[in-house]
Amino acid sequence: MTTRTASNGANGFLRAEDAERSNGHSNGHTNGGSNNLNGSSTANGHTNSSSTNNGSNNSMKVVHRRKSDRKKSSPMMPTFMVSAPGKVIVFGEHAVVHGKAAIAAAISLRSYLLVTTLSKSKRTVTLTFPDIDFNHVWNIDDLPWSTFSHPSKKKYYYDLVTTLDPDLVAAIQPCLANVSPDKPSEIRKVHQNSAGSFLYMFLSLGSQSFPGCQYTLRSTIPIGAGLGSSATIAVCMSAALLLQLRTLSGPHPDQPPDEARLQIERINRWAFVYEMFIHGNPSGVDNTVSTQGKAVMFQRTDYSKPPKVQPLWDFPELPLLLVDTRTAKSTAHEVAKVEKLKKTHPKLVGSILDAIDKVTESANGLIDEEDFDTENEECLRRVGELMTINHGLLVSLGVSHPRLERVRELVDHEGIGYTKLTGAGGGGCSITLLRPNVSRQKLDRLEEQLDEEGYQKFETTLGGDGVGVLWPAVLKNGMDEDEEGGMEIDLENFLKAEGNEGVERLVGVHGGVGEREGWKFWRVES
Ligand SMILES: Nc1ncnc2c1ncn2[C@@H]1O[C@H](COP(=O)(O)OP(=O)(O)O)[C@@H](O)[C@H]1O
Ligand SMILES: C[C@@](O)(CCOP(=O)(O)O)CC(=O)O
């Protein structure tokens, strides 16, 4: 394992002014943020002055810069990493797809994406997803750039894309034809789906001059368990590409919250596009909480507009038990099932969705009360009852599963707490809000029983950080430190890290050793 000093760590980040300096293009796009941001520009080589330019001074400076001042060629990027957290939906899954509100919180399980830039002569882009046994290499020059860059189709990093373009989806099909040809069809479909979502975003944001690179992803989140694993990949990919394009500023410690929020918004917009490719009709709650972190109340009533996101900074530390049924499900399938039920029984299903909305609203009101206390039995009972009602309504939509019902039965039998499914259902995970003062004996008995029946219990804390960046991929407080305390994460040691624990220990934002120096997060909290 190689080591080196991390001295240039944080300096590697682009501040808005630096971004402007290193690109020489102006961007007058409305950002509602500081003047500095108008200077951030894009490797698309695009000059955007189509909308409100509230930073004209900066932009003018750039436009009139002498040609000779411009950077001739950009040096190779350092290897860097991005990371995003999984989530639990505490209230409102499924209803949120139909325009109702949901409450979701980030968890401490995360995905990690290592981005390696290749030497100039290598014109390939590689996806390496060892968790799903997927690896594929494309020749950059063989990708359908002309279709994606056609003026009628071209999208930019600041665009709000709310539907996939069928012509663009069709254009990438030939690039999927030789993805995992020898794998069984179910696995092949998953690989093609992963490849398709990546290519759609890569081709939309990038250009043919994009450097050759490799994207390697490892995750500690169980796949297809309702903890938003797909959204974390969407967020990591979006953040990585936008960073490579130098369209993001920060994160850096003195960044104003407004500016940080704009970066988060941009990452989230493109993560949603990735999710659309994977799921068909996502609400956007998963990618939103994964990008922003902590907890949010989320609602998207009009898909042509950004969602309403209310951060819940004081979201309580609820004593939750997270149980994985180890029964894989498909979000797309469960969402389609509810859609079909709604078409058949519009009024009835409409009232169930309205009832879920009322539950979410009541929960939000409850946890917002001044004297809400997570150690108070009465407070927990009220939240717990809302969880029980929410679960019942989800059962009536047909998205539970016998394995989920079994967890509820075991918990209810011992009188330990209140259980609901979380995420899409049809398998996946449940959450149980534990009553205060439950005896250790009862808890042990439940855990033993769950273990015996093949369930997996997860320890996680709610409300962690959102998308994070490690630029360059050098960590302090790592395992293998040199005397200056820097440890380089390279492809080989990243791939070699054993299991979730190995990944956490090597690159984790906490790594079992407390806050880790190196990882940076956009601080959106004002
Ligand atoms: N660790 C991973 N590596 C690669 N792809 C992943 C990983 N985790 C999830 N995915 C992608 O996300 C899909 C699962 O998404 P989904 O059914 O929504 O489950 P979840 O509830 O975990 O988000 C997988 O089929 C795969 O495409
Ligand atoms: C069912 C749904 O509300 C949540 C799905 O969560 P997950 O993919 O199971 O983690 C769908 C959505 O919000 O897009």
357 CB near ligand 2 (under 6 Å): no
Q: How far is CA 454 from CA 226, 367, 410, 447, 449, in A?
A: 17, 34, 14, 11, 9
Distance 90 CA to ligand 2 centre (A): 12
For ligand 2, pick from 219, 223, 277, 283 the residue to mutate: most ligand atoms within 8 Å of CB.
283
223/209 Cα distance (integer angstroms): 34
Decide: 427 in ligand 2 pocket, CB within 6 A. Answer: no
Same-domain pairing of 393 and 376 = yes
Domain count, the chain: 3
Cα(441) to centroid of ligand 1, in Å?
36
CATH of the domain at 212: 3.30.230.10
Residue 5 domain flag: no
Which of the ligands is closest to the CA of residue 281?
A: 2
- pLDDT the model gives residue 511: 57
- Run of H or E residues at 337: helix 331-344
Final residue in a domain of this structure, among 69, 93, 113 = 69
pLDDT of residue 73: 52
* Residue 233 and residue 340 in one domain: no
For 367-381, b/e burial (b = at least 16 CB within 10 A) is beeeebeeeeeebbe
Residue 134: inside a domain, yes or no? yes
Residues 340 and 258 in one domain: no
Domain membership flag for residue 423: yes
Q: pTM for the full model?
A: 0.84
Q: What is the pLDDT along the chain (526 residues), one digit of tens a residue?
A: 333 322 322 333 333 333 333 333 333 333 333 323 223 333 333 333 333 333 333 333 333 444 444 444 556 789 999 999 999 999 999 999 999 999 999 999 999 999 999 998 999 999 999 999 999 999 999 999 999 999 999 999 999 999 999 999 999 999 999 999 999 999 999 999 999 999 999 999 999 999 999 999 999 999 989 899 999 999 999 999 999 999 999 898 889 999 999 999 999 999 999 999 998 889 999 999 999 999 999 999 998 888 999 999 889 888 899 999 999 888 999 999 999 999 999 999 999 999 999 999 999 999 999 899 888 899 999 999 999 999 999 999 999 999 999 999 999 999 999 999 999 999 999 999 998 888 999 999 999 999 999 999 987 888 889 999 999 998 875 455 555 557 888 899 999 999 999 999 899 987 555 557 789 999 888 7
Residues 60 and 129 in one domain: no
94 lines ligand 2 (CB under 6 A): yes
Question: What ipTM does this complex have?
Answer: 0.96
136 neighbors 127 (Cβ within 8 angstroms): yes
Q: What is the pLDDT of residue 8?
A: 29
Atom of ligand 1 nearest to the CA of 226: 21
Please say which residue of 8, 36, 69 terminates a domain: 69
- Looking at the structure, do residues 297 and 152 belong to the same domain, yes or no? yes
Domain annotation covers residue 441: yes
Which DSSP category does 27 fall into?
B
Q: How far, in Å, are 162, 217, 356, 488, 495 from residue 503 at the CA level?
A: 34, 11, 37, 14, 9
Ligand 1 mean position, distance from CA 223 (Å): 5
Are residue 368 and residue 450 in the same domain, yes or no? yes
Q: Which pLDDT belongs to residue 67?
A: 43
DSSP 8-state symbol, 465: B
Q: Which residues line ligand 1 (CB under 6 A)?
A: 129, 131-132, 190, 193-194, 217, 219, 223-231, 233, 278, 330-331, 423
Q: Radius of gyration of the chain from Cα atoms?
A: 23
If asked whether residues 32 and 132 sit together in one domain, one would say no
Is the domain of 336 the same as that of 453?
Answer: yes
Ligand 2 centroid distance, CA of 356 (Å): 15
Q: Which residue's alpha carbon is at the smallest distance from atom 12 of ligand 1? A: 230
Atom of ligand 1 nearest to the CA of 130: 3
pLDDT score at 31: 33
Q: What is the pLDDT of residue 374?
A: 86
Ligand 2 close to Cβ of residue 41 (< 6 A)? no
Task: Tell me whether residue 103 is in a domain.
Answer: yes
- Asked if 242 and 339 sit in the same domain, the reply is no
Owning domain of residue 411: 318-458
Nearest to residue 460, comparing CAs of 506, 429, 438?
429
**Domain stops at, among 438, 458, 478:** 458
Whole-number Å distance between alpha carbons of 145 and 203: 6
Whether 286 is catalytic is: yes
Same domain, residue pair 326 and 290: no
* Set 165, 258, 286, 324: catalytic member: 286
Q: What is the pLDDT of residue 488?
A: 86
Q: Give the 3-state secondary structure of 91-139.
A: ECCCHHHHCCCEEEEEEEEEEEEEEEECCCCCCEEEEEEHHHCEEEEEE
Examine the domain organization and report whether 449 and 491 are in the same domain: no
CA of 221 to the centre of ligand 1 (A): 9
What residue type is assigned to position 501 of the chain? E
pLDDT at 52: 31
